[in-house]
Structures are given as structure tokens and as C-alpha cells.
Amino acid sequence: MEHARLTVTLRPTTGTLARLASTLNNHRVLDLAFSTAAPAPARAVVRVPRPEAVRVQQKLRRMVDVLDVALEPAGPAEGSGPAEEAGAVREAGPVGGRGR
């Protein structure tokens, strides 16, 4: 599946991550990474299916905390996801600790 990567620069305030999650709630988010390092702005990297990318970008730009949203096309062959790019730690295995 082809996807797009959105790099979001945010003003880190109380509830920024919750507002980001709420904004993305109605979209198919393939991967999300969020990082903060005071005094720099917060950064989120979101990977969504390409057909939804422009709509997600428009919704993110309406957020009060958002300073910038950059849309970068990405393909299915890329090995690194947004979590590695934002410096986040990824956990291996399924959510909830159960295998199939």
C-alpha cells in the first residue's frame, strides 16, 4: 500500500498529544511518532494511506498547536517508519501481548 508521511511541527502545550490523537481519530493512521525536547517545538510524524494524506494535512493545519505540516510522499518499499525518524522507541510484537 502506498502511503504518505506528514511531518507536523507543534507548539507543545498541555493536551497537545491528546488533541493530535483526536484529530487523527477518523483516519487510518499507519504509524505515529511524537517527540518533544524543550525548548524546541514538538514534532510528530504521521504515516497515512496516500488517498487520505491531503485531507489529514488540512485537518492538522486547523489545529491551534500546529506551526507547520509538511507532506512527503513515501512508498511501500521504505524500511523506516516515522517512529525511527522522530527518535521514538518502538515495541516489537502485537499490541496486548498476544500472538496469532
In a domain, 68, yes or no: yes
Kindly report the average pLDDT of the chain as a whole number. Answer: 81
Over the stretch 64-73, which tens digit does the pLDDT of each residue have? Answer: 999 999 999 7
Count how many domains the chain has.
1
In a domain, 91, yes or no: no
What CATH number does the domain containing 53 carry? Answer: 3.30.70.260
In a domain, 38, yes or no: yes
Higher pLDDT: 21 or 83? It is 21
Confidence (pLDDT) at 26: 94
What residues make up the domain containing 22? 3-76
Higher pLDDT: 78 or 10? It is 10
Residue 38's pLDDT band, with cuts at 50, 70 and 90, is: confident
Q: How far apart (Å, rounded) are the C-alpha atoms in residues 28 and 10?
A: 21
Strand partners, 13: none
In a domain, 92, yes or no: no
Confidence (pLDDT) at 100: 36
In a domain, 30, yes or no: yes
Q: How far apart (Å, rounded) are the C-alpha atoms in residues 62 and 23?
A: 9
In a domain, 26, yes or no: yes
pTM reported for the whole predicted model: 0.72
Identify residue 19 by its one-letter amino acid code. Answer: R
Provide the b/e sequence for 73-99 (b: ≥16 CB within 10 Å). Answer: ebeeeeeebbbebbebeeeeeeeeeee
pLDDT at residue 78 tops 80 = no
